[in-house]
Amino acid sequence: MESLDKKESLKFGIMGGTFNPIHYGHLVTAEEAFNQFKLDKVIFMPSAAPPHKKDEKIISADDRYLMTVLAVASNKHFSVSSLEIERGGYSYTVDTINALKKRLAPNSKIYFITGADAILEILTWKEPHKLIDFCDFIAATRPGYNLGKFREVFSYDDWQKFKSKISFMEIPALAISSTAIRERIRKGRSVRYLLPDNVIDYISKNRLYIEGD
């Protein structure tokens, strides 16, 4: 985390997620955001306990953190933060961005990178209006994604405010999800080419996802 303490103004992308496990969908999205938005750094932020996944069994935060470190190790623009895991409890984006802002130079800019589907639910997140004042959003969509859904979810006034802070970014269709990867591992099917080899090796070595979820 030394990079966060440098007192220079930079453009940071924050890629939040459960990363249970991290896969190429996450990595391609971060890489595309890095290039399209000319970011200086992308910080992957594995959550402690995601508020919307309370009922799911999730493997330890340490395993999710270590797999994320393995996945980004070869990219000098990517790093991993343990801020949410160290804070513990439920991880709310507004608290995370607030904590990051205190550590960065005052004119640094934060872009929160997420799937467009997650943005559709942003009004259910903790303090969405405060959050949208704190940072910009990069919403990843698949080619042909229908933005019409956004007009249905937001009131006219909210949409006027939110749309100025959300940029949409088309990424190649990637039908990869952690849920599908966990299921494939449980069934003994190959997950090669869906996530980095060193993460697959870590999963096998530690016998993760073999039983339950």
Residue 152 CA, chain-centre distance (Å), reads 24
* Least gap, CB of 5 to ligand ATP (angstroms): 26
Query: Interface residues for ligand ATP in 100-119 (CB under 6 A)?
Result: 114-115, 118
Residue 181 belongs to what H/E stretch?
A: helix 178-186
Binder of ligand ATP out of 17, 48, 100, 111 (CB under 6 A): 17
DSSP 49: B
The nearer residue to ligand ATP, 22 or 104, going by C-beta atoms, is 22
Binder of ligand ATP out of 29, 79, 93, 96 (CB under 6 A): 29
| Cβ–Cβ < 8 Å for 194, 176 | yes
* Least gap, CB of 15 to ligand ATP (angstroms): 7
Ramachandran region, residue 22 (left: φ > 0; alpha: ψ -120 to 50; beta: rest): beta
Binder of ligand ATP out of 48, 80, 176, 185 (CB under 6 A): 176
> Which range touches ligand ATP (CB under 6 A), out of 24-32, 34-42, 97-105, 155-163?
24-32
* Least gap, CB of 114 to ligand ATP (angstroms): 4
Q: Which distant-in-sequence residues (6+ apart) come within 8 Å of 205 by Cβ?
A: none
Binder of ligand ATP out of 12, 13, 14, 19 (CB under 6 A): 19
- Told to check if 49 binds ligand ATP by CB under 6 A, we report no
Alpha helix ranges (H) inside 75-147: 83-87, 93-103, 116-119, 128-134
> Which range touches ligand ATP (CB under 6 A), out of 20-28, 31-39, 88-96, 190-198?
20-28
User: How far apart are the C-alpha atoms of 163 and 186, rounded to whole Å?
Assistant: 40
Q: CA angle, corner 100, sides to 79 and 50, nearest 5?
A: 75
Residue 61 belongs to what H/E stretch?
A: helix 61-72
- Told to check if 25 binds ligand ATP by CB under 6 A, we report yes
User: Which residues here bind ligand ATP, judged by CB under 6 A?
Assistant: 17-20, 25-26, 29, 114-115, 118, 140, 171, 174, 176-179
